[in-house]
Amino acid sequence: MLVLAGIGVIVAGFLLRFNPLLVVAVSALVTGLAAGLDPLAILAAFGKAFNANRYVSAIYIVLPVIGLLERHGLQERARGAIAALQGATVGRLLIGYLLFRQLTAALGLTSIAGPAQSVRPLVAPMAQAAAERQGVPPGGDAIPAMAAATDNIGLFFGEDIFIAIGSILLMKGVLEGYGITIQPLHLSLWAIPTAIAALLIHGGRLWWLDRRLARAA
Amino acid sequence: MICTNFIYAAAGLMFVVFAVLSATDHGNAKRFGNAGFYALLSVSFLFGDRIGDIGNGVLVLGLVAIAGSGAMGRGARGTTGPVERQAEAAARGNRLFLPALVIPATALLGTFAFTAVPALVDPKQITLVALTCGVILALAVGYAWFRPRPATPFAEGLRLMDSVGWAAVLPQMLASLGAVFALAGVGQVVGGIAGAAIPDGSLLGAVLVYTLGMAAFTMVMGNAFAAFPVMFAAVAMPLLIGRYGGNPAVIAAIGMLAGFCGTLMTPMAANFNLVPAALLDLKDKGAVIRAQVPTALPLLAVNIVLLYWLGFR
């Protein structure tokens, strides 16, 4: 039971708004000590895992390209393109993006879009421009946050349909550990009902957002 | 064979440039904090495999010390203003989208091409290698078209990097915390508690504990991958499959997706929920999570129903 103290550190640390990196480091130390590990062994385990997970932070290499394009007006052009499009609403735009993200993720193309690659330079400014035409005041958090949320939801509930994605391989491995052999295709097929439900629920919210804006206008 | 070293070399060199640009940014009072942070990251990417586990641990302590003492701030380098950008957007038109589309297009073609020639690239890292190629190509197009000074793309990239700040390594830190949790046996304890919470002989109770446990444990760990082996061992295998004869494929697949609903609702999933808020300059760092909860909760309910309905036919 004592090893759960680290989870307590995480929760308390986030609630008390300490720097999250500090909270994570303290939590690792507390958890390791509670399990009777030597401090140096905890440091080594943490360092080893940090090094093994570098690919998580490799995505920032897109930033120089995105920053350069922004310097030359990419976000403004994205807004302009939406403004020129008759009938483009924030709801329709994001439903289209949700579908695009689910379908491409289902084909294994998870890295072609994301917060740095597509949401910040393209999708968020387009959504904001469309929403402003529907009467949303500029400068708020709600529309860009919805663009980022749509990106996550499309990714999560599309990627598991692809047979070679990490989570499918993990499930296959865990099941094999219990002597159950299952083809990845079977696991990925059972992700389809939830993917459809995600499209309906989130798409429904986006459609509702359009309706609410139309009523308020 | 091209493998992760290629990606990490590219990222490491970029962080070297970020560190130098930060250190020489005289308008930023905290410039040495930023420079130190990016320099440590460049060491991690370039030499992480050579400095040993303890060395990497000490490197992490350095990152934590810089971030935890509030030594980082936003850079002060100038960029173009709204009026200039509007004018350039009008002059350059839709061609501005082309370099941005080079990245996904190269990632797409590269993924197919590298899959066809498996000897060339480490098959596990095909997409990331293709993405890195796309970035380099797009950067070359950008240099040729805009003719910026050599450091300008990196100064602009650094502007975005500074807006993310220390949160950039939070996802990697949390993944490492997961490794320490695994070593300490946190999962077994949580699984034991979850298993004990099930009313005896109740299939619905077992389904609820498994799916809600996946979501809740994912929220704590920030990652459904860490929760799945634990909840599967504690509830799914002995009860849902062992006692009630459920379909393992359905129970595994939908249980994982119930965990994904938890990912949408937790600050621990920093790369999905906190980093985008920082990248988009949102005033409320919880805005992305709040936008996701109204989708995540009904979807979690749908997953519970689907698992109960499809898993035991």
Locus of tokens 């596990």: B124
The reply to whether B73 and B156 lie within a common domain is yes
| Chain A residues close to B86, C-beta within 8 Å | 73, 76
- Is residue B193 predicted with pLDDT exceeding 80? yes
| Chain B residues close to A160, C-beta within 8 Å | 253, 256-257, 260
C-alpha distances (whole Å) from B254 to each of A173, B272, B305, B313 are: 16, 21, 10, 15
Its pTM stands at 0.89
Prediction ipTM score = 0.91
Residue B180 located in a structural domain: no
A98, A202 Cβ separation under 8 angstroms: yes
pLDDT for residue B262: 97
Instruction: Quote the percentage of chain B above a pLDDT of 70.
Output: 99
A146, A154 Cβ separation under 8 angstroms: no
pLDDT for residue B128: 81
The reply to whether B191 and B55 lie within a common domain is no
Contacts (Cβ under 8 Å, ≥6 apart) of B184: A3, A6, A31, A32, A34, A35, A37
A-B interface: how many C-beta pairs under 8 angstroms? 407
Q: Is the dihedral of CA A17, B264, A27, B59 positive or negative?
A: negative
Rounded Cα distance between B163 and B75, Å, is 9
The reply to whether B76 and B122 lie within a common domain is yes
Tokens of B267: 């600050």
Lowest-confidence segment of A7-11, B87-91, B157-161 by average pLDDT: A7-11
The reply to whether B15 and B90 lie within a common domain is yes
Residue B170 located in a structural domain: no
| Chain A residues close to B146, C-beta within 8 Å | 68, 71-72
Average pLDDT taken over every residue of chain A: 92
Residue B216 located in a structural domain: yes
Query: Which of B172, B220, B247 is most worth mutating to test chain A (most A CB atoms within 10 A of its CB)?
Result: B172
The reply to whether B192 and B283 lie within a common domain is yes
B177/A24 Cβ within 8 A: yes
The reply to whether B14 and B158 lie within a common domain is yes
Per the structure, the count of domains in chain B is 2
B267/A14 Cβ within 8 A: yes
Beta bridge partners of B2: B121
Rounded Cα distance between B99 and B95, Å, is 8
Tokens of B53: 């586990």
Q: What is the pLDDT of residues A189-209, one digit of tens each?
A: 999 999 999 999 999 999 999
The reply to whether B155 and B274 lie within a common domain is no
Q: What is the pLDDT of residues B75-123, one digit of tens each?
A: 988 899 999 999 999 999 999 999 988 988 888 888 788 878 877 777 7
A171/B256 Cβ within 8 A: yes
**Confidence category of residue B1, pLDDT binned at 50, 70, 90:** low
The reply to whether B131 and B216 lie within a common domain is no
The reply to whether B108 and B223 lie within a common domain is no
A37, B184 Cβ separation under 8 angstroms: yes
The reply to whether B144 and B32 lie within a common domain is yes
The reply to whether B130 and B229 lie within a common domain is no
Q: What is the pLDDT of residues A59-90, one digit of tens each?
A: 899 999 999 999 999 999 999 998 888 889 99
A3, B189 Cβ separation under 8 angstroms: yes
CB-nearest partner of A31 from B131, B180, B283: B180
Q: Is the dihedral of CA A57, A58, A63, A66 positive or negative?
A: negative
Residue B178 located in a structural domain: no
Residue B151 located in a structural domain: yes
Give the domain range for residue B83: 4-164
The reply to whether B291 and B221 lie within a common domain is yes
